[in-house]
Amino acid sequence: MDITVDELEERRSTRWTGWLLLGTLGVVAAGGWGASRSISALVTRTEQLEREAAESEARVEELQVLREGLTRRVRLLEQQQQRAQVSHRAASARRAGELSARRDAARLALETTLKEERERGIVYLEEAEGQLRVGLVDPLLFAPQGTELTPEGEALLTRVGAALNVDGHLVQVASYPDASPSPTAWELSTARAVTVTHQLARTSKLPPERLVAMGYGPSRPVGLEEAPTPTPRLEVRLVPAPALDAARARAVGRR
């Protein structure tokens, strides 16, 4: 059967139309499959973000609880510190009052026991800046340039040491040089301070940790306001002892 040119073109056009339709359907199908995958991925990502957001919220709540706990702890520590400071100040005030009362008692005892020597002007008594200071004229205790106590000096120091054996205080022995300084003034004053310290330790039962010996050279001025200047002398001072920590206080108490 003969096919005309028009029929041939018509058949060819029909085939192309079919292929075009099939191609279009393929493209649409592929697009739908791709879109389906995109939607699925978007849903998965959304779910992941929601989980992460929930976890973040939970973590924020945990941190908030932790912060509140830390805030309460800091407030509690501040309150404890404030109470400790108040307690420390009160304890310091009590200790200062007790030490002052003990010094007052020691001063009254010294005023009584040293009345005659004070009237003779060979002993001076002064209380200032938390210290009770007893000034002794050197010739009363030592011969010129000597380091051995005179009998009168030994007896006097026995009375002084008994009055100064006060709890919570140190006893400092400060020796000044003679009126005519010498090259050995420092050595001489130091030796005299040590001699007096040993005498106090023997006669007053003061423990060694409460006794301090100090010798001054010629450049050191004499100290008591009440005494005439520049009378050379020796000072015995009653001063508050530094507060001991608990462990050291126990160690001292066992001696």
Residues 14 and 64 in one domain: yes
Residues 1 and 109 in one domain: yes
Residues 59 and 148 in one domain: no
- Specify the CATH number for the domain of residue 162: 3.30.1330.60
User: What number is the average pLDDT over the span 97-110?
Assistant: 86
Q: Could you say which of 96, 113, 130 is where a domain stops?
A: 113
Give residue-wise pLDDT tens across range 156-212. 999 998 899 888 899 999 988 766 556 677 888 899 999 999 999 988 888 889 999
Distance separating alpha carbons of residues 106 and 98, to the nearest angstrom = 12
Decide if 165 contacts 204 (C-beta within 8 A): yes
- Which of 193, 194, 200, 184 is CA-nearest to residue 145? 184
- Which of 102, 135, 130 is CA-nearest to residue 117? 135
pLDDT computed for residue 84 by the predictor:
77
How would you class 113 by CB atoms within 10 Å of its CB: exposed for 0-12, middle for 13-18, buried for 19 or more? middle
Domain that holds residue 109: 1-113
Instruction: State the total domains in the chain.
Output: 2
Distance separating alpha carbons of residues 240 and 168, to the nearest angstrom = 6
Give residue-wise pLDDT tens across range 35-92. 566 777 777 777 787 788 788 888 888 888 888 888 888 888 888 787 777 777 776 6
